[in-house]
Amino acid sequence: MSNATESGLTFGSQLGTDMVEIFVGPHRQHFRIHEHILVSNVAYFKGMFSGGFKKARTKTADLAEDDPLVFDTFQQWLYGSKRLPPVEEPRSDKANSFVEIPDRIKLYGFAEEYCIDELADYIMTNLMSVYCHHGHNPGVEMMVLAYESTNSRNSPLRSFMSNFLYNIIEAEKEEGLLRARTLGNGLATNGDIITDLIVLFKMNGYQHLPIPVTIRNAYIISMKKEQSVR
């Protein structure tokens, strides 16, 4: 019993007592978070709540452009020893569950926007496990969402999805994984996908590539490029 108590005190002492107020989304949904756990894990928030800035004095911040559901999942990751429930494929009976792939993809976009590399790497590992090791196809909708949720042309998630789409197009010739109309509608919504596909076709000479190897290599290469820029 004493061990459990000591563990609880240790965790509490690590959190500290100072709190910050974060208002997220257009309706300013309120989140109250321990300042220490936030600033010690995210450099962006460390800068925000340090120094003589107004936000540092008032201990409040507005993230009007962000999704409260995504921020809530980020908060769970922070307080949950940087882990989340396993990624699950979307199910009609769990449309609002934060553990679904669409919400996890949005969380990746949040991590990329605020340069939370550890969270981005964690989500990529989750997605690679679902799509590569279990042989699942993300589908055009998830590919488009990945592009809509990220901004960087060197985004590892974009490389992940564009490589999948490249292989699906190649497999379409023989296996019919996607209907042409569905594929066309998906491509039409985001010009960056088309650009990345053209690059892949030129690089690979229109040859089908093993998906797990392709995705893993694309992820590693993208991360190296990103690190070299920093």
**CB-CB contact of 35 with 16 (8 Å):** yes
Q: Tell me the three state secondary structure of residue 61.
A: strand
Alpha helices in 49-136 (DSSP H): 54-58, 68-79, 101-113, 117-128
What's the gap between Cα 84 and its chain centre?
12
Output the pLDDT for position 213.
44
**CB-CB contact of 145 with 106 (8 Å):** yes
Tens-place pLDDT, residues 106-115: 999 999 999 9
Output the pLDDT for position 89.
52
Environment class of 8 (CB within 10 Å of its CB; exposed 0-12, middle 13-18, buried 19+): exposed
Angle between helices 139-149 and 191-204 (to 10 degrees): 110
Band of residue 38 on the pLDDT scale cut at 50, 70, 90: very high
Band of residue 96 on the pLDDT scale cut at 50, 70, 90: very low
Output the pLDDT for position 171.
66
- For the chain, what percent of residues have pLDDT higher than 90? 37
Does 13 have pLDDT greater than 50? yes
Distance of alpha carbon 142 from alpha carbon 16, whole angstroms: 39
Tens-place pLDDT, residues 132-187: 766 677 778 888 899 999 988 789 999 888 888 777 776 665 555 555 566 666 66
Poorest-pLDDT segment among 54-63, 85-94, 184-193: 85-94
What sign results for the dihedral spanned by CA atoms 33, 35, 36, 39? positive
Domain ranges in the chain? 19-65, 66-229
Output the pLDDT for position 26.
95
Q: Give me the residue label for tokens 């800068």.
A: 47
Does 11 have pLDDT greater than 90? no
Mean pLDDT of 9-22: 75
Distance of alpha carbon 184 from alpha carbon 189, whole angstroms: 9
The strand pairing partners of 63, in sequence order, are 24
